Chain A
Amino acid sequence: MTFITTRRQLLVGGASIATVVALGGVHPAFASADRSKIVVRVEKDPVNLDPANRSGPVDLNVLWSVQQGLISFKPGSTEWELDAAEELEQVNATEIRFKLRSGLVFTSGYGELTAEDVKFSFERFIKPNAEGKPVTYAKDWSALDRVEVTGLLEGRIILKKPAPALYTIALADGSGRIISKKAFEALGEKEIATKLIGSGPYVLKQWTPRDQFVLEINPDYKGPIKPHFQQIVGKPISEQKTAEIAFQSNEIDFTAIDPENGKTLSALPDASVTQIPAIDYVWFGPNIEKAPFNDIRVRQALRYAVDIDAILQGAYSGLYPRANSLLAPSLLGHWKDAPVYARDLEKAKALLTEAGHADGFKTKLTIEANARYEAIAQIIQANLAEVGIDVEIEALESAAYWALGNNDASKDLELSLIKYNGKFDPGFQTQWFTSAQVGQWNWQRWKNADFDALHEKGGVTVDPAERAKIYIEAQKLLDESAAFIWITHNLNAFASRNWLKPGVLPNGNNWLYTAFSETTA
């Protein structure tokens, strides 16, 4: 067969070569040297931008930059600073007085932020909505009795009982954001979820679902926070690997990463990696209502049989810090002298023999399906096999796994591996281990009246030193039960361009977009 080159073929070939040459240039997405705008990766699309019905950190981080609270968290800290409030005073255990800054205005023409807006925003949490249903985060304000307006910009928050956690759980957090009463009345609960009206440093300029959201500096903002970047673009990317590739290709400037990939990413010429110890709590433990785990000697044997350091090496590459109790080192009530259980197979075997299980037994370990938890489960399985305990691993997809918290579905669990995210108040962490949580989120089904009482007492004790003692006592009870084998408090890692200083709070999940800035070095 003979091919003769025609003029048409030459033209087509020429065009093809021109296209290839054109494509040889760097795509504009990679070439940005514009320092007035940053692109950050978020794990999912924002879902609901109503502070009372928000769905998680992605929503909250956007809310924080667009709406104000009386107070807000300081960048990189668990402490707070004044925001919309010019003054805030704890008058007594059940009364907080506030005075707002003047001249704060809501976007879209909804007028000045007043004490009426504060009252409306906070009391929404204790009143059912138009359909008679409570808002999602009603619990955050369960201590609230009412908000009294004493002037255009002044008011008093009256509590039913002392609530020291209110500052970090509600006031500085998402449930303390102030929404415009007028806007809510005009738009209704449904529209408020997608039309974000605020008085903060940024406005939500654009939100294309599943593509991106754009925050832009609010020119009318008159508060104390000085945002650095003119625009912050959020790109929802669910897959961590895609996010890391997008970071390597320069399409995004900031992303959470797996700490294990930190070394590779920090080797890039224009990148830096930040690691922040987290305040989560990862542990595994038995359902103590089920035999043989109803015998404390079996639980103690588990604790001696499992090698936590091997788990940290094998499943976390030796990068994550070990947890020895519930509360992370950065939290009030951290138990620094908590016992560190080293692996002791002889002790474990002796305890099992004493409990009548010299030949071991069969059991099941339920985990949320992902590579890391599967690695942990396999190490536990191998460790327990050495003392004769035969572990079958049951890995459930995320939604199916967390459904075990509904309607007593967890009652059939034997061993479970769990990770809970922490908040900045110790009472938030202890609440899931109370007797009332059996059948819901206390999957170990451990009941202890003294622990319940300590949790209650910690929730109303105002003196921080006294509170710290109470939570340490509570953790001692958790330890005595041998129902909780702590693994780690986790580690957060982030990759950013080396000229970018991220505004991340110590829990790692929450970011203050207003605190993102350029590095000075």
Chain B
Amino acid sequence: MRSASLSIHLAFKLATAFLAVAGSVLLLLALTRLIPGDPATVILGSRATPEAIAALNARIGLDKSLTEQFVGFFGRLLSGDLGEDVFNGRPVLGLVAAALPNTAALAISAMLFAIVLGVPLALLSARWAGRRLDRLIAFLSVGFISTPSFVVSVFLLMVFSVTLRWFPVLGAGESGHLGDQLWHLVLPTAALAAGWVGYIARLLRSSLLEVLSESHIRTLRAYGVSEAKILMKYALKPAVLPTVAVLGMGFGELLGGAVFAEVIFNRPGLGSLIYDAIRTRNYPVVQGGVFIIVLLYVLTNLIADLSQSLIDPRERARLSTGRGGVT
């Protein structure tokens, strides 16, 4: 009975995820085709003849109806084929596979960076709530949240690349050279994570204060348990639940938000791949790239959702019994 309930929950989540992927990709494909401009004009230059444009469209399959193109895309998808770059015939799967690790590395490192800085800031803020340190952290957090990442990027580049020359401006580092790749990751990570540091600090602080105001915490204090122990051992775990849910969605957003960082830092990632493909109306690359992004977004949300279910004892109990949880 317990496993059946969990299986139904899982199946429901997977079905929703599948529909979300299919729906989003279909919508995005339709939107891409609605904007004027086509790859033939980009390939042939701004002054190509109509005959040349028509011939090229036929060669790359754009003379077919939209329905045929969509059916073709989803049909090929079943065999793991994302199509070919219209400009040079390179397989889109290869382009996406080459770009994805760079984006994933950036998103993961940004998330870790945000957690490593954000959680201690939240703890300090909650510990000294209403005091000067709390106000300073609040000021910094709101500053981080409200400064656009491209502004942070340019600032970091001017200071750490142009003036100090500590970190490089361009690319993702030499292939196979982990140290160089990490070095190239530092500035884009900081630029992308800055807003999230502030966000985690604020969000977790609120949750911590909520937990700290509960009666069992007062009991612990009455027993003389130290504030540090209360914070770390008794308040952090329940307080972190809402943050985990937000981080799940946040990871998906970081994948999307990496576009700015990738363009500014010239990283050959998935975001910049899609950005360039949209500008040149390279439809197969847009389709393939968006499909992977949506897939990852939905997957990370699914994982966060399931993780939360497993961490939260009330939710765990509800799924195990198949009935409403303890309230």
Chain A residues engaging chain B, CB cutoff 8 angstroms: 1, 23-30, 44-45, 47-48, 55-56, 131, 133-134, 136, 138-139, 190, 193-194, 208-212, 235-239, 241-242, 245-246, 248-252, 396-400, 402-403, 405-407, 409, 420, 432, 440-441
Q: Are B89 and A190 in contact (CB under 8 A)?
A: yes
Nearest CB on B from A154, distance (A): 33
Residues from chain B with a CB closer than 8 A to the CB of A405 are 41, 46-48
Chain B residues engaging chain A, CB cutoff 8 angstroms: 35-38, 41-53, 55-56, 58-59, 87-90, 95, 98-99, 127, 154, 157-158, 161-162, 165-172, 175, 180, 183, 226-228, 263-266, 268, 272-273, 276, 279-281
In the bound complex, how far is the Cα of B56 from the Cα of A406, in angstroms? 13
Q: Are A26 and B273 in contact (CB under 8 A)?
A: no
Residues from chain A with a CB closer than 8 A to the CB of B172 are 211
Instruction: Supply 16 A–B pairs (Cβ within 8 Å), ascending by A.
Output: A23-B166, A23-B167, A44-B276, A48-B87, A55-B45, A133-B55, A134-B52, A136-B43, A194-B90, A210-B268, A245-B154, A245-B162, A245-B169, A250-B165, A399-B37, A406-B41
Given contacts A1-B227, A28-B180, A246-B266, 8 further A-B contacts (CB under 8 A): A47-B43, A134-B51, A139-B52, A238-B276, A396-B36, A403-B41, A432-B47, A440-B49
Residues from chain B with a CB closer than 8 A to the CB of A409 are 36
Selected from B37, B55, B89, the residue in CB contact (under 8 A) with A400 is B37
Nearest CB on A from B247, distance (A): 24
Selected from A24, A211, A402, the residue in CB contact (under 8 A) with B46 is A402
Residues from chain B with a CB closer than 8 A to the CB of A238 are 263, 266, 276
Residues from chain B with a CB closer than 8 A to the CB of A212 are 171
In the bound complex, how far is the Cα of B36 from the Cα of A194, in angstroms? 28
Q: Are A242 and B38 in contact (CB under 8 A)?
A: no
Residues from chain A with a CB closer than 8 A to the CB of B279 are 398-399
Q: Are A136 and B226 in contact (CB under 8 A)?
A: no
Given A208-B175, A405-B41, A237 contacting B170 (CB threshold 8 A)? yes
Residues from chain A with a CB closer than 8 A to the CB of B167 are 23, 27
Q: Are B175 and A246 in contact (CB under 8 A)?
A: no
Given A237-B170, A245-B161, A440 contacting B263 (CB threshold 8 A)? no
Nearest CB on A from B105, distance (A): 14
Residues from chain B with a CB closer than 8 A to the CB of A209 are 90, 95, 98, 268
Residues from chain A with a CB closer than 8 A to the CB of B89 are 190, 193-194
- Which of B55, B95, B226 has the most chain A CB atoms inside 10 A of its CB? B55
Residues from chain B with a CB closer than 8 A to the CB of A25 are 166
Given A30-B165, A211-B268, A242-B265, A400 contacting B35 (CB threshold 8 A)? yes
Selected from B59, B127, B158, B169, the residue in CB contact (under 8 A) with A251 is B169
Q: Are B276 and A402 in contact (CB under 8 A)?
A: no
Selected from B35, B47, B228, the residue in CB contact (under 8 A) with A441 is B47
Report the nearest A residue to B273, measured CB to CB: A210
In the bound complex, how far is the Cα of B167 from the Cα of A131, in angstroms? 49
In the bound complex, how far is the Cα of B90 from the Cα of A142, in angstroms? 30
Given A1-B227, A209-B95, A245-B161, A27 contacting B46 (CB threshold 8 A)? no
Q: Are B88 and A48 in contact (CB under 8 A)?
A: yes
A-B complex: 10 closest residue pairs judged by Cβ atoms: A399-B37, A210-B268, A400-B36, A403-B36, A29-B168, A403-B37, A249-B161, A246-B169, A47-B87, A402-B46
Residues from chain A with a CB closer than 8 A to the CB of B38 are 399, 403, 406
In the bound complex, how far is the Cα of B183 from the Cα of A12, in angstroms? 20
Given A399-B42, A403-B37, A441-B47, A136 contacting B166 (CB threshold 8 A)? no
Report the nearest B residue to A239, measured CB to CB: B263
Q: Are B272 and A210 in contact (CB under 8 A)?
A: yes
Q: Are A131 and B59 in contact (CB under 8 A)?
A: yes
Nearest CB on B from A34, distance (A): 15
Residues from chain B with a CB closer than 8 A to the CB of A1 are 127, 226-228
In the bound complex, how far is the Cα of B170 from the Cα of A250, in angstroms? 11
In the bound complex, how far is the Cα of B49 from the Cα of A236, in angstroms? 28
In the bound complex, how far is the Cα of B183 from the Cα of A26, in angstroms? 12
Report the nearest B residue to A246, measured CB to CB: B169
Q: Are A239 and B264 in contact (CB under 8 A)?
A: yes
Residues from chain A with a CB closer than 8 A to the CB of B263 are 238-239, 242
Report the nearest A residue to B171, measured CB to CB: A211
Residues from chain B with a CB closer than 8 A to the CB of A190 are 89
Nearest CB on B from A141, distance (A): 14
Q: Are A402 and B169 in contact (CB under 8 A)?
A: no
Q: Are A239 and B36 in contact (CB under 8 A)?
A: no
In the bound complex, how far is the Cα of B169 from the Cα of A251, in angstroms? 8
Q: Are A193 and B170 in contact (CB under 8 A)?
A: no
Residues from chain A with a CB closer than 8 A to the CB of B37 are 397-400, 402-403
- Which of B53, B162, B172, B266 has the most chain A CB atoms inside 10 A of its CB? B266
In the bound complex, how far is the Cα of B268 from the Cα of A403, in angstroms? 28
Q: Are B58 and A133 in contact (CB under 8 A)?
A: yes
Residues from chain B with a CB closer than 8 A to the CB of A236 are 266
